[in-house]
Amino acid sequence: MLAIGPTILVGRLLRAIVTLWLAVSAVFLALRTIPGDAADALMGQQMSAEGVALLRRQMGLDQPLIVQYASFMGDVLRGDLGLSLALGKPVSELILQVAPFTAVVVIGSLLIGAGIGVPLGIAAAKRRNSVVDVLARIFSLTGLVIPGFVIGILLMIPFSVWLGWFPVVGGGDIRDPPSLAYFGVLPCLAGGLGMAAYLTRLTRSIVLDLLREDFVRTARAKGASEAVVFYKHVLRNALVPIVTLLGLYAVVMIGDSIAIEIVFSRPGFGRLIMGGIAQRDYTVLQSVLLVYVLIAIAINFLVDLLYVWIDPRIQLTT
């Protein structure tokens, strides 16, 4: 099974590192093109011109761009994300504080998405053209493209505003896991339903493909029961691509979670980013974007490897 040679592993790792380097540079450059630098942003808070000049020197903003870039890269490599301009606290502290709330949304959405999407896709494939299949198709066609924040609002209006079952604002108490889950129900559904739509469709098509395979026909010809054929031959093979797609969707989910967190006024990366934009807190903004980028690259890298490891027929070119 272990088909990954060291060359491929190293090649993939190199690609991930190059991607990461390009992404970090892109974040650095994008934020430096904004008119007015971070010191100007702070000047809005009634600071004298000398104060701004001092601050600019302290922040290294009077240095040439290339020097700033080098010191930025050095900081990132050491894991030093700097201080928040607005709050004066280390950014890494702010990020770690809210990370659990974002993790609840992303992981909860993935679980709901897989929990609904995979069984529904299998049911649709097993009973092709039945009522279940048609309903699954409609669900996947609609759910796939509706933005997560819209699903969130469409859930919030009946369940929170009208019925009052779920809270509208906040993410719960970090020391109290049940409250985290309770505050997470609607946000996770908002992310999870879209994902379920995506997985329903792909699971159905994967299972349909497998049902046509020779080994399934052989198994049936040998007299294996439908249940054995399905669970031993079809499902086991279907898990591979499904897990891969789950990983790829996790990247989409990270992007969607921003607007979902804002809809539910939850603490999290989404609020950090939007707050960073509003307050021109560039260190916070660039750090959260870097965290997103790092997660996206890590997931892509793992999915790539998983792909080869599970199905050695797939040749990765380095």
Please give the residue ranges that form the binding site for other proteins (CB under 8 A): 15, 18-19, 22-23, 26-27, 30-31, 33-34, 141-142, 144-150, 153-154, 156-157, 161-162, 168, 201, 204-205, 208, 251-252, 254-256, 258-259, 262-263, 273-274, 277, 285, 289, 292-293, 296-297, 300
Task: Write out the two tokens for 28.
Answer: 């650095």
Rounded least distance, CB 139 to other proteins, Å:
11
Q: Which CB sits closer to other proteins, 31 or 116?
A: 31
CB of residue 145 vs other proteins: minimum separation in angstroms?
Answer: 4
- If the CB atoms of residues 21 and 231 are measured against other proteins, the closer one turns out to be 21
Nearer to other proteins, 30 or 174 (CB): 30
From the CB of 174, what's the least distance to other proteins, in Å?
25
Nearer of residues 17 and 54 to other proteins, judged by Cβ: 17
116 versus 304: smaller Cβ distance to other proteins: 304
HSE of 265 in the Cβ direction (CA atoms, 13 Å)? 5
φ, ψ at 315 (rounded to 5°): -95, 120
Give the torsion sign (CA, 132, 137, 142, 148): positive
Cβ of residue 77: shortest distance to other proteins, in angstroms? 20
What is the spatial distance between Cα 171 and Cα 101, in angstroms, rounded to a whole number? 6
Residue whose CB is less far from other proteins, 229 or 299:
299
- Helix-, strand-, coil-residue percentages of the chain, each rounded to 5: 75, 0, 25
DSSP assignments along 99-121, one per residue: HHHHHHHHHHHHHHHHHHHHHHH
Tell me the torsion sign for CA atoms 317, 302, 6, 290. positive
Cα distances (Å, whole numbers) of residue 125 to 139, 204, 264: 14, 5, 35
CB of 192 to other proteins, least distance (A): 17
Q: Can you tell me whether residue 90 is helix, strand or coil?
A: strand
Query: Minimal distance in Å, beta carbon 262 to other proteins?
Result: 7
Nearest CB to other proteins, comparing residues 51 and 126: 126
Instruction: Kindly tell me which of 98 and 293 has the beta carbon lying closer to other proteins.
Output: 293
**Position of tokens 């996206």?**
296
Full DSSP string of 217-244: HHHHHTT--HHHIIIIIIIHHHHHHHHH
How far is Cα 153 from Cα 7, in angstroms, rounded to an integer? 48
Please report how close the Cβ of residue 232 comes to other proteins at its closest, in angstroms.
24
Task: Give the shortest CB-170-to-other proteins separation in angstroms.
Answer: 14
